[in-house]
Amino acid sequence: MKTTKFFALSALVAMFLLVSSFSTFAAKPEMTPAQHIQKMIKESIKYPEQAVKSCCQGSVDVIFKVDEDGKINIVKTFSTDEDVVKMVKDQLAGICCKGIKTPYNEHYKVTITFKLIG
């Protein structure tokens, strides 16, 4: 009787270990190159102090490519305010995406908005 209980308990423990070894933890999905670039731009773009003082506001749609050196090459911009376009171009020129493997000749689009609150 003791042997039967021992084997039953052993089988139960073995089954628990087997099932728990098959369970997987949700792995964080790998970020795509576009997501990496978007994150880098979001963290790097700042509202210029001079633009805040002069109440310069607006949005810019930027279409760009990233070259093999990680430099952002702007292909086209869309905005009604040339001052905002200049602010965005100046800041994007300082961002380096080196280390992010981007497909050759891939175009990306980002919208950057400068808006004063209050």
Instruction: Report pLDDT for 61.
Output: 95
Which CATH number fits the domain that encloses residue 98?
3.30.1150
Using the predicted structure, report yes or no on whether residue 48 has a pLDDT greater than 60. Answer: yes
92 phi and psi angles, rounded to 5 deg: -65, -30
Q: Which domain holds residue 89?
A: 33-114
Q: What is the mean pLDDT of the chain?
A: 83
- Specify if 11 maps to a domain: no
* Structural tokens at position 31: 């970020």
Residue 55: count other Cβ atoms within 10 Å of its Cβ. Answer: 7
**For the chain, how many structural domains are there in total?**
1
* 72 or 20, greater pLDDT: 72
Answer whether 0.85 is exceeded by the pTM: no
- Specify if 68 maps to a domain: yes
- Specify if 22 maps to a domain: no
- Specify if 61 maps to a domain: yes
Which of 19-23, 31-35, 64-68, 91-95 bottoms out in mean pLDDT, i.e. has the lowest?
19-23
Task: Give Cβ neighbours of residue 80 (< 8 Å, ≥ 6 apart).
Answer: 58
- How far is it, in rounded angstroms, from Cα 61 to Cα 79? 7
Cβ atoms of 56 and 116 closer than 8 Å: no
- Specify if 40 maps to a domain: yes
- Specify if 103 maps to a domain: yes
- Specify if 10 maps to a domain: no
* 26 or 6, greater pLDDT: 6
Alpha-carbon Rg for the chain, nearest whole angstrom, is 26
- Specify if 20 maps to a domain: no
